[in-house]
Amino acid sequence: MRPLEAERSNLNCFIIIIYFNLHKKTDLLIQPCKLDHSITISSGDHSLIQSAKEKQDRESRGRIGTAIRLHWEMATAGKVIKCRAAVAWEPNAPLVIEEIEVAPPQEGEIRIKVIATGVCHTDLYHLFESQQKKGFPTVLGHEGAGFVESVGPGVTDFKPGDKVIPLFISQCGECRFCKHPKTNQCDRNWSSKRYDVMSDPTSRFTCRGKPILQFMGTSTFSEYTVLNQIAVTKIRDDAPLNRVCLLACGISTGYGAAINTAGVTPGSVCAVFGLGAVGLAAVMGCKNAGASRIFAVDINEQKFEKAKVFGATDFVNPKAYDKPVSVVLAEMTNGGVDFSLECVGNTEVMRSALESCIKGWGVSVLVGWTDMADFSARPIQLISGKTWKGSLFGGFKSKDCVPKLVHDYMSGKIKLDEFITHNMSLEQVNDAIKLMKTGECIRTILNISK
Ligand code: NAD
Ligand code: ZN
């Protein structure tokens, strides 16, 4: 037996000792010398427990999990947590690392310790493009994963220590949208009320005496966050949080836009406009759906190499031609593509993607996010038999589907690792934002907590 972790509180009154035997059985001993004080397991110790947890056999798994849960419940439940977060005080300004207060979860809510989060273009949209001053101050981030720290009254499906993904699109399971098979637009989502502000009016965050909004109801650029249980999903215990966090937005969005919303068919010809993580995931969706040709379209040719990894077969830089990209694609495909997906968030590109489809049956899907301008097209585009659609979170019903997508990653059906080009700390969040702005990254993972 070899001691893995042993720590004594300052008060010297309560010791937790965990013995971990790599070769035989794992065992866990909790020795309460006195019961009226609690111990703090530091974050470094927690990572040790976590790595032990990942190696242990089935029999012992529950017992280590119990220790972690025990610690969390004892240390912070019911209390305000002070922690680090990247606060966006105003549009067009760098985020500021601050100490914020995170209130305990209320009825039906869950407080989550965020372990890792991706940085998505929608965070940049809110910060730089939306020009929506009312949506500040806020904590951005909506592509995270972590552990349940504590739960509010009435929460029965989650317990401290569960691995979870916060969802920017909820699934209450009861509204008419949740009950309808054709949509994932839960009526109790933050977006039902305030698309412009991009947050729920209620927030459990304060900083320097001011309430801080929770962007897209999630706010994963923080060590702790609080969500309603309808916007959290539990995932399998062995999922690596610094990978599967990407399923909270970009990858599910692009992948689902291809397989669900567009309904890409075997043997079809597709074009994906914009090769960030969302577009590359759309390429992956087209490939998994059996497309025979996948055109990868981007003004940044450095993205083409990566697009090959996900299954793109042809590469087009619209700037390299003196005619519209729709004409270029029509010439290369005998009249246009069967499916096109716009993954940029630019109304001109949306139009080009529609015009690139073949008449009669072509389907074009808007995936890129913008609410800043009207889009336009000649009516003949639709009269001639094309379909123009949009996709939010890839059409996936979030609570049900994200755990399944985690399985798909763990079984090798979908890729995640290949999207990650950079790993950084929360303190480097402004560097991560800059990398996306300049097109130098696909996804940066911010490692928030251990
Ligand atoms: P990203 O910034 O990483 O990628 C955008 C890509 O588009 C870049 O490679 C860029 O070079 C390319 N691009 C820019 N202008 C172009 C043009 N004129 N023609 C072709 N390509 C062009 O962004 P991302 O994180 O992949 O997100 C893509 C879009 O998807 C954003 O608008 C984001 O807000 C949106 N989004 C939508 C949903 C949803 O549910 N619908 C969810 C997540 C993200
Ligand atoms: Zn996103």
CA of residue 135 to ligand 1 center, whole Å: 21
Regarding whether 406 and 384 lie in a shared domain, the answer is: no
Q: Is residue 168 domain-resident?
A: yes
- Of all ligands present, the nearest one to the C-alpha of 117 is 2
Regarding whether 386 and 412 lie in a shared domain, the answer is: no
Q: Is residue 25 domain-resident?
A: no
Please count the structural domains in the chain.
2
Whole-angstrom distance, CA of residue 356 vs CA of residue 341: 10
Regarding whether 406 and 323 lie in a shared domain, the answer is: no
Regarding whether 421 and 277 lie in a shared domain, the answer is: no
Choose the final residue of a domain: 375, 390, 405: 390
pLDDT at 201 (0 to 100): 81
pLDDT at 1 (0 to 100): 31
CA of residue 271 to ligand 1 center, whole Å: 14
Regarding whether 292 and 204 lie in a shared domain, the answer is: no
Q: Is residue 442 domain-resident?
A: yes
**Ligand 1 atom closest to Cα of residue 366:** 41
pLDDT at 440 (0 to 100): 97
pLDDT at 88 (0 to 100): 98
Q: Is residue 95 domain-resident?
A: yes
* Secondary structure (3-state) at 3: strand
Tokens 């220790």 -> residue: 67
Q: Which residues contact 186 (CB under 8 A, 6 or more apart)?
A: 169, 170, 171, 172, 175, 177, 178, 192, 230, 398
Regarding whether 167 and 95 lie in a shared domain, the answer is: yes
Whole-angstrom distance, CA of residue 94 vs CA of residue 96: 6
Give the residues surrounding ligand 1 with Cβ less than 6 Å away: 120-122, 125, 249-250, 253, 273-279, 297-300, 303, 318, 343-346, 349, 367-369, 391-393, 436, 439
Looking up residue 188, the CATH number of its domain turns out to be 3.90.180.10
Q: Is residue 240 domain-resident?
A: yes
- Of all ligands present, the nearest one to the C-alpha of 216 is 2
Whole-angstrom distance, CA of residue 51 vs CA of residue 20: 11
Tell me which residue range forms the domain holding 330.
262-390
CA of residue 274 to ligand 1 center, whole Å: 5
Tell which residue, 361, 286, 345, 352, has the closest CA to residue 319: 352
pLDDT at 28 (0 to 100): 34
pLDDT at 104 (0 to 100): 97
CA of residue 448 to ligand 2 center, whole Å: 17
Regarding whether 267 and 228 lie in a shared domain, the answer is: no
CA of residue 275 to ligand 1 center, whole Å: 7
Looking up residue 364, the CATH number of its domain turns out to be 3.40.50.720
**Ligand 1 atom closest to Cα of residue 277:** 26
Extract the residue ranges of the chain whose pLDDT is less than 50: 1-63
Regarding whether 365 and 332 lie in a shared domain, the answer is: yes
Regarding whether 366 and 294 lie in a shared domain, the answer is: yes
Note the pLDDT tens digit of each residue in 250-295: 999 999 999 999 999 999 999 999 999 999 999 999 999 999 999 9
Question: pTM of the entire structure?
Answer: 0.86
Regarding whether 382 and 406 lie in a shared domain, the answer is: no
Q: Is residue 42 domain-resident?
A: no
